[in-house]
Amino acid sequence: MPRKSFVLTAPRALAEGLDIPAFRARLLDWFAASARDLPWRRSLDPYHVWLSEIMLQQTQMERGVAYFTRFIARFPDIAALDAASEDEVLKLWEGLGYYSRARNLRRAARVVMERHGGVFPRGLAEIRALPGVGPYTAGAIASVAFNAAVPAVDANVVRVLARVLDIDAPVSAPAVKRRIAAAAADLLDREHARAFNQALMELGALVCRPRKPECPACPIAGLCLGLARGTTQWRPVLKPGPEIIRINMACGVLAWDGRIYIQKRRNNDVWPGLWEFPGGVMESGEQPEETLVREYMEETGLAVAPGPAIGMLRSSYTRYRITLRGFFCAAAPGVDPVAEHRLNEADEARFVEPRELTRFAFPSGHARLVTKLLTDLRLSAFLAGERIG
C-alpha cells in the first residue's frame, strides 16, 4: 500500500501581510540612533566578532564585554590563541561557565591556522565547520563580520518575531522554528545584512525584552501583531523549563609541606580540564565531613582527617543548584600524600603554593572557595601544620 506523505509548509512573513520595507526602514533607523557602542562593533574584525558571539551565549552583555576585553588583551589574534595552553584559556574563561565553548575556541583557532593560513574564513560553510559554531553563530559572524546576506536567528530574534507575527505555538517546535527562520530570511535587508541582523538582536535585547517589552518605545510597534492583539505577554510561547535539581557537595583542602593539593578533572567528566579540591556529592544521611573523607579515599586513595569549615558556596550549573561545603583537612597519621596519592578520577594532580591557586581555572564553587581560602586568617597556621579552630 502506498504510504501517504505529508509536507508541512510554513506560512511566510510575506504571506502574513507584514509591511517588509517599513519594517526594515524603521528598524535600521532605530539601530543607527540606538546601537550600543560595543568593542567588536568598532573593529568588525572577524576574530573579535567570532569571540563575542561565542562569549555572549548564555552571558549578560556587561559581563561579556569585560571578559572579551581581557581575552583580547591576552590573545590579540588567532595565532596567539592557538599558541595558548588549555589551562591558560580556561583560566581566562573562569566564571563564564559552559567551558566547552572555551575548549572549542582553541580547537577552532587550530583549524583556522591549519586550514585557512591563520585568516578567518569568509564562507558560511567554512565558518559553520569550525568547532563550536552552530547555524545561528555562523550566520551572525558571516553577516556582522562580512556583511553576508544570511539571517542570524538568536533567542532575541525568536522573541521579537514570535511577538511581531503573534505566533501562538511553542517556539521550540520544529515547524515553528522553520517558520521563524523563513520569516527572518524574508525580512532580512540583504544589502544591509550587517546592520539589519544586529538591529533585530539589539531590539530584542533592549526593547522587546523577555519581561515587560517597552512597546511605546519600539520602532516597529505599528507593525506588531502581538501588540495589536494584546498578546505580547504570552509570546513567545515557551515549553516549561527543566526541573531544578539541588545538590549538596563537600570538598577538602589538603595541605602538605606548605602546599595545597589540587587535581585536574578528566576530559570525559563534567567541567573537563578544570581543577578542583577532591570531594563530591553528599550521599543520603551523610555529613559533609564524611563525604570528603570517603571521596578523598575514592578519588585519591588518601586517608584524610577533616578539619574546620572554610565556607559554604552556592553556584548554578545548567539546571543544577549546587551547595558546596569546603573544609580544611589533613592527611591521616602516617600518610604521605605526595608519595601515596593516586589519580583514580583525575588526569593530573599537583601540590601548589596558595598564591599559585589563582593561576588555575576552577569550577565556580571551587573558584569562590579559593578566594575564601586565600583571605582566611587561619591559612598560615594551617599550612604550617598547626592545629586550627
Identify the three-state secondary structure at position 308.
strand
What residue type is assigned to position 144 of the chain? V
The length of the chain, given as a count of residues: 389
- Is residue 53 annotated as a catalytic residue, yes or no? yes
When the beta carbons of 164 and 183 are compared against ligand SF4, the nearer one is 164
Least Å distance, CB 166 to ligand SF4, is: 9
How far is 147 from 214, CA to CA, in rounded Å? 29
When the beta carbons of 78 and 203 are compared against ligand SF4, the nearer one is 203
Least Å distance, CB 241 to ligand SF4, is: 22
Greatest alpha-carbon span in the chain: 84
When the beta carbons of 18 and 208 are compared against ligand SF4, the nearer one is 208
Quickly tell me which residue has 545548567 as its cell: 318
How far is 219 from 189, CA to CA, in rounded Å? 16
Identify the three-state secondary structure at position 124.
helix
Grid cell at residue 350: 599537583
In this structure, the strands spanning 320-331 and 245-256 are parallel
How far is 78 from 61, CA to CA, in rounded Å? 23
328: DSSP letter? E
Least Å distance, CB 80 to ligand SF4, is: 41
Least Å distance, CB 146 to ligand SF4, is: 28
Q: Which residues pair with 304 in a beta bridge?
A: 331
Q: Provide the binding-site residues for ligand SF4, judged by CB under 6 A.
A: 160, 163-164, 207-208, 213-215, 218, 220-221, 224, 226-227, 232
When the beta carbons of 123 and 222 are compared against ligand SF4, the nearer one is 222
Least Å distance, CB 167 to ligand SF4, is: 12
What residue type is assigned to position 229 of the chain? R
When the beta carbons of 224 and 293 are compared against ligand SF4, the nearer one is 224
Least Å distance, CB 65 to ligand SF4, is: 24
Q: Which long-range contacts (CB under 8 A, 24 or more apart) does 177-184 make?
A: 178/8, 178/10, 179/10, 179/11, 180/153, 181/151, 181/153, 182/10, 182/12, 182/13, 183/12, 183/13, 183/16, 184/151, 184/152, 184/153, 184/157
Q: Which residues pair with 248 in a beta bridge?
A: 323
Grid cell at residue 241: 523549563
In this structure, the strands spanning 279-281 and 275-276 are unpaired
Instruction: Given the residues 16, 53, 202, 289, select the one marked as catalytic.
Output: 53
Quickly tell me which residue has 604521605 as its cell: 336
Give the residue numbers marked as catalytic.
53
